[in-house]
Structure 1
Amino acid sequence: MNTPTADTLALQYIDYRCTNRVATITLNRPEKRNALNYEMVSQLKQAFDIAENDDECKIIILKAAGPVFCSGADLEYLQQLEGNSYAENLEDSTHLMQLLHLIYTLKKVVIAQVNGHAIASGCGLATVCDFAYTVPSAQFGYTEVKIGFLPAIVKVFLLRKIGEAKAKELLLTGDLISAEKAKTFGLVNEVVPEEELEMRVRELAERLCVQNSAQAMEVTKELIAMVQELPLKEALEYAAERNALARATDDCQSGIHAFLNKQPIIW
């Protein structure tokens, strides 16, 4: 089956649109505080797959409708899981894992526009994005331990992003933290006034579109993910190989030529 591409796509819980090379994926379940259920995770995977394969898209913004970014797992959905077998629960948790891994390893840069609280797996969505901008009133946290659950999947990404000490504070207390503390932890990049959030995120997305090579950003993102898994010597060898390969790309040769000749680089 061919992957669909479109300037706009409306699913039951997700909206997708692409304008001026910036794709916007919107969580659109505000009446449930954009809580995640199986269908919503499926639709997010579909939207990110479309964005990755959309030739008109260079940068992706993940945002949400309503006052809450994402409150985590849908409570009604959690109730349904009580009767599941281990195999059914494993399939379901793998489904969420695949979404977070997809965003983290996506070839294109993803910016989280966090307009409100991001809790549990909702915080996980923000964590796996490459950038996160938020508002002063937003709270962040992984509350799973408070209900006897485990922040197992998001932990893998959180440890990479903010380190063990800060991850332990978040994961073992289950407490919510303010947007400013989330910034000091490295969980978000910027805290901006609510009325400026959309403009600031859009400015970043459009700046990345204009000033950076898509190919270079893709490989840089891949390198960041890969080298952390390798021993030092292997990581350096892998980085040297990617460096050598990059020199032969059209983007690199065009960029160096333009730089040396003091010409504007058009990406």
Structure 2
Amino acid sequence: MMTFTTLDLSVASDGIATLRLNRPEKHNALSEQMIGELTEAANALNDDDAIRVVILTGAGRSFCAGGDLGWMKSQFAADRAGRMASARALAGMLHTLNTLRKPLIGQINGAAFGGGVGMASVCDVAIAAESAMFGLTETRLGLIPATISPYVLARMGEGKARRVFMSARRFGADEARALDLVARVVPDQDLEATVRAEAEDYLKVSPAAVASAKALARRLGPAIDEHVIEMTANALADTWESPDAQAGISAFFDRVDPPWVQQPAS
């Protein structure tokens, strides 16, 4: 079994694999290294015929808190080519997980912000703990949820997505269920057993038929092809170069409010 620095990958004897984001001290935020290792792990899982189903979860108290601060700093300082390379790497990782030939079950054990919402959206089914929190928080920084957007809109539908896509408002697991981001919400102590039971259904069916059925569903769903992926990468790079992103990221690192923050009228 492969070993990783930012992930923990284990496979039970029945073929149920668990892919765990393993940076609990950073709330499993997506770093450049983690993005690369997730792509590598997904390719390895695809190539292993013994694996029947994959559970995606996070170590510690969070599922995935979005982009790592170090990654954001590097984007802040990068040129256009560097930003496009990073955006394509992130988009490619999400595409690889989204088209995984094995069923992918999200075990949402805690906070899922920004890219964490994207990670939940590429799962075939996501089950959340009652305490889980969600948010598309990019606009607070002057950014947009670009590379994750095809998967978020495919999961929620445009109408529901627009309720949370721009406001950066955080919302709980019950609202995530109403938005179709997650399929079920269970008590925290029941999450692991509930996900395990969901995974065990796939031990009774043809792996080849499952892979074909998943690919068919993906072809019939909203188009997420190379053109769409490249468009979202360009949109992210464009936004990084905008005055609002520069002001928002600077304010974030300086721990002050960005210039557009307005207090509600009394």
TM over 0.5, shorter chain: yes
Q: Which residue of 2 aligns with 1:87?
A: 81
Q: Which residue of 1 aligns with 2:198?
A: 204
Q: Which residue of 1 aligns with 2:159?
A: 165
Highest Rg: 1 or 2? Answer: 1
Q: Alignment partner of 1:169: what SS?
A: coil
Deviation at 1:39, TM superposition (A): 0.3
How many angstroms apart in 2 are the aligned matches of 1:71 and 1:161?
19
Q: Which residue of 2 aligns with 1:213?
A: 206
Specify which of 195, 219, 223 is matched with residue 216 of structure 2: 223
Q: What TM-score results when the alignment is normalised by the length of structure 2?
A: 0.81
Specify which of 160, 170, 174 is matched with residue 168 of structure 2: 174
| Count of aligned positions | 222
Q: Alignment partner of 2:42: what SS?
A: helix
Gaps of 5+ in 2: 224-266
Q: Which residue of 2 aligns with 1:137?
A: 131
Which shows bigger deviation, 126-135 or 218-227? 218-227
Query: 4+ residue stretches of structure 1 with deviation over 4 A?
Result: none
Letter of the aligned partner of 1:10 in structure 2? T
Q: Which residue of 2 aligns with 1:257?
A: none
Q: Alignment partner of 2:49: what SS?
A: coil
Deviation at 1:228, TM superposition (A): 2.9
How many angstroms apart in 1 are the aligned matches of 2:109 and 2:86?
27
Q: Which residue of 1 aligns with 2:189?
A: 195
1:13 is the counterpart of 2:11: no
The answer to whether the 8 Å contact 1:118/1:140 transfers is yes
Letter of the aligned partner of 1:22 in structure 2? I
Letter of the aligned partner of 1:48 in structure 2? A
Q: Which residue of 2 aligns with 1:54?
A: 48
Identity over aligned residues, as a percent?
34
Q: Structure 1 residues 228 and 204, CA, compared in 2 at 3 Å: closer, same or farther?
A: closer
The answer to whether the 8 Å contact 2:16/2:52 transfers is yes
Deviation at 1:198, TM superposition (A): 0.6
CA shift digits 1:135-190 (9 cap, x unpaired): 11111121101110110111111111111111111111111111001001110011
Q: Structure 1 residues 125 and 55, CA, compared in 2 at 3 Å: closer, same or farther?
A: same
How many angstroms apart in 2 are the aligned matches of 1:157 and 1:186?
12
Deviation at 1:207, TM superposition (A): 1.7
Q: Which residue of 2 aligns with 1:36?
A: 30
How many angstroms apart in 2 are the aligned matches of 1:26 and 1:151?
23
Deviation at 1:229, TM superposition (A): 5.0
* Structure of higher RCO (CA pairs closer than 8 Å, 6+ residues apart): 2
